[in-house]
Every structure is written in structure tokens, then in C-alpha cells.
Amino acid sequence: MSHSTVTQELLTKKFPVYIDKEQKKQAIQETEKLFRSLNSVPKRKKRWQDLLYLPLLTKPKTDYTVSPPITVDKTGLVHPYWKGLFTQAMKEVAELEQVSVTDFGAVGDGQTDCTEAFREAIGKGRRRVFVPAGVYRTRGLKLPSYTALIGAGTVETVLLLADEAPKKERLITNQDYWKGNHHIEIAHLTLNWNVERLSKEERTSAGGTASSGITLAHVQFAWVKQVKIINPGLHGVDVTSIRYNYFGDGRRSVLGSRFVWVDEVEVTGFGDDGITTHHSDDLLITNSYLHHPSGRAHKKGFSNSNGIEVDDGSQHVVLANNRTAFCFGGIEIKAHETSSAASDTQIIGHYSYHDNRSYNFRHIGHHQLEDTQSQSAYGIRATYLVADSPQYTNLYLKSTPRALVVSAYQRVVIHSFFAQAGQDEQDSIAISLQYRANQVKLREIKLEGYTRSKKALRVSETTRDISIVEENE
């Protein structure tokens, strides 16, 4: 059974109307109506100092728009406004010359180093490279523009990172970060980052954008579908710019990615996040399952390992029909203190199971009254969210379970939210709207099992313009 089907069935048990296309459309429209009733956020003003940062690959945040609401087609699939453009672009990839990696000497015996065979098969691009059933050992692959890497299925085709590969190696990435790449497809295979080649005690990431299963940096028009990623040192899939920006809130990195769709991807054992995005625009993540992180990219007990993390500087991101389990955060929308927060995210259907913080929306270092106000943490629209049994995790020892936390973000609307307390968390807080959360509307909220909680829904005195309507009120 596909991840799409499993997630849909789980969500439908909590929201029976979720499977109905017309009802889903109506709920999304209600979310949008509430969102459009909120005030716009003030735009960052241009500064003369902005010119000084250009050599450092950073730029001021100038896009304060929000995308049109997603649409739902006849089959129930969601479409961001750019989906037609993406579909047309990827038709060119489907028509490329087809070759098999075995024609260039690759052997799927799990022992032979096939790196050179893959490189020859890929060539300079403009090829669909088929990888038959087998286990293929490589030292990492780089894909040029107009390249597809297609396996026989996630069970049949496995790419295994070689023992001699350095910790920083990505199993698959694009070829040219500076010039950028475009029209890339990765599908129907399993990627094993081979964490066993490292000692059991060392951290699994080398820093920056390295050590991931798939890194797409400065890429336009890429499709990752029906891929399983096992034990990546950092992230399963990282859609990003070539460098992260830490020059302050209100700034973003240049050379980010755009028009990337990640669909039916499963990641397990990840050192940091299952799927993450940085300083990139117009992204779609659907039907994916992220679960059981190792957290080994961080110091033990301080691992902010999230299933899906929409991180620093990301804009115009859509998440639909995904599932997370046993992570620190199911979905985290955030930023570090010295970077712009992710803005304009739409979520349609998510099932969080035994994550510590099912939904965690925050801008680190811009929470409290003595902190500077975030210039970028705004714009979250969510419909049909389930937080099933948030629980304590040793990934982050000092964190308490929560179904939903909103901190520092403004213009947040969540419509149809269900939270079920776990057996050991019946006295916990389910929802916390705290610090500088502003313009937050929650509708059709249902909390179950919080029978011993003195205040299952907590709103901090430092928040502003909060509106909550529970189910059947």
C-alpha cells in the first residue's frame, strides 16, 4: 500500500470528510477566507548596507507576498499555482534518450564499485538512466541538467554509498552548484547512506549542506518521487541554496532552488531532518513518510530532528498528505535567529504520530519581548492536521510534548485540528500559543484525552489577536 493511501486512510478516520474532494475544497476555501481577513505584515525597508552583503551570497528579503490557495483536482490531488508549468517542463525529461547503467559496466552485486559506470551512463546529461534491480555501490553521484535516474522500484533497486566515501558525501546531488542545474528526475529506488561505515559514537554530519541522501542546491524543475532513503547522516532530502544565510533576519541566501516536487518519499534513521528546505521558493512535498530519526547529526540529547522542516528563508511551500512518526517535530516551520524565517507555507492534511512536538512554528531568538521582532515569520495556512499521541523523546531531553506550538509567527490560520493525548501525557498542554504569536486563528479544534490537564490550551499574555473556536462551539 502506498504512503499516499495509508496517510489518507489515517486522516479520514479523524476527519471523515477528508476523502471527499468537494468537502476538502470547501475546507480549504474556509481556511483561505480566514487567512485573507488578517492584516498584512509590514515589509522590510531597503537599506544602503544591503549592497555590502552581495559578495557574501546574501540578499535582502523583498518578497512578502502569499501564493494563491492550492486547488484540488478531480482525483483529489492538490496543485499549487505553478503545477502546470512544472508538468510542462518535466515532459522534456520524459523524452530524453534512455540508457541502462548496466550497459556501461555497472554490476548490482553490492560489492563492485559502480561509480565510474554511473558517470559514463549519465555523461553530460540529456539522458534517462535506468538502474535495474540490484544493489549498486557508489562513491556519490552528481547529476547534470536534463538527467533522470530511474530505478526498478524501491525494493528492487538500491544505491549503497561505498565504505570509503567521506562523511561529507551526498549520495545524490546536482553537478554544478554555482551555475545551477535544471530538469532533474530521481525515482523508483532506495538510497542507503551506509552510516555503518562510521564509528557508532561519532556524529554523522560534516556541516553545511553535506552528508545527505539527496541535496538539490540551486536547482530548478526537479522531481523526486517514490524514493526510500535509509540512515542519511544529515537530511534525507535537502532542497536548498548553495550556502545557508546567517547574516540576520530579513536576509536570504542567493542561488536557491525553485519548482521542486518531492512525492512518495520515505526517510528513516536521518541524522537531522527527513525532508528540509532552505532559501528556496515554490516547493511541493506530498505523500511522504518520515520516521524514526537517529538524531546523530547533533550532540546526544540535543537533536532537533524533524520529519519535515521548512527552514531558513524558504518561501511559498506546500505540504500535502504527509505523515511523520517518532520525530522531535512532525512539521517544524522555523528559522535560526540570524536568518529569515520560512514564510508562506500551506499544509493540507498531515498525520503526526508519537512526535514530540507534532507541529512547531517558531523563529528562534525572536520570541520574547526583549528580542527583536521577527521581520519574516508569517503566513501559515493549514487544513486537516492530526497530532496523535505526542510523547517525550530522548532526541531532545528537555523538551515537553505538545500537539501544536506557535511562537513569534503571525498570520497563522489552522482549520480542522485534532489532538489525542498519549497514555502518559493526559496532564500535558496540547496547544501553546506563546511569546510573540500574533494574528492566529484556530477553527474546529478538537482535543481528546487531556483529562488531567489544568489548561490543555494555553495562550501567553504576550500574544496578540488570538481567536480560537473549538469543535461544535
Q: Decide: 216 and 222 in contact? Cβ < 8 Å.
A: yes
If you search the block for the grid coordinates 512532525, which residue do you land on?
Answer: 330
Q: Is the pLDDT of residue 35 over 60?
A: yes
Mean pLDDT computed over 279-305: 96
Q: For residue range 403-415, what is the model confidence (pLDDT) as tens digits? A: 999 999 999 999 9
Q: For residue range 147-168, what is the model confidence (pLDDT) as tens digits? A: 999 999 999 999 999 999 999 9
Superfamily grouping for domain 3-470: Single-stranded right-handed beta-helix, Pectin lyase-like (2.160.20.10)
Nearest to 206 by CA among 246, 166, 160: 166
Q: Is the pLDDT of residue 472 over 70?
A: no
CA dihedral for 198, 202, 208, 209, sign (positive or negative): positive
Residues in CB range of 410: below 8 A, 6 or more apart: 41, 377, 378, 436, 437, 438, 439, 440
- Which pLDDT value is given to residue 473? 53
Give the DSSP letter string of 78-110. Answer: EE-TTHHHHHHHHHHHHTSEEEEGGGGT---EE
Q: Is the pLDDT of residue 90 over 70?
A: yes
Mean pLDDT computed over 192-219: 95
Q: For residue range 228-269, what is the model confidence (pLDDT) as tens digits? A: 999 999 999 999 999 888 888 999 999 999 999 999 999 999
When the pLDDT of each residue in the chain is averaged and rounded to a whole number, the result is 94
- The alpha carbon of residue 434 and the mean position of all alpha carbons in its chain are separated, in whole angstroms, by 23
Question: What is the C-alpha separation between 117 and 275, in angstroms, rounded?
Answer: 29
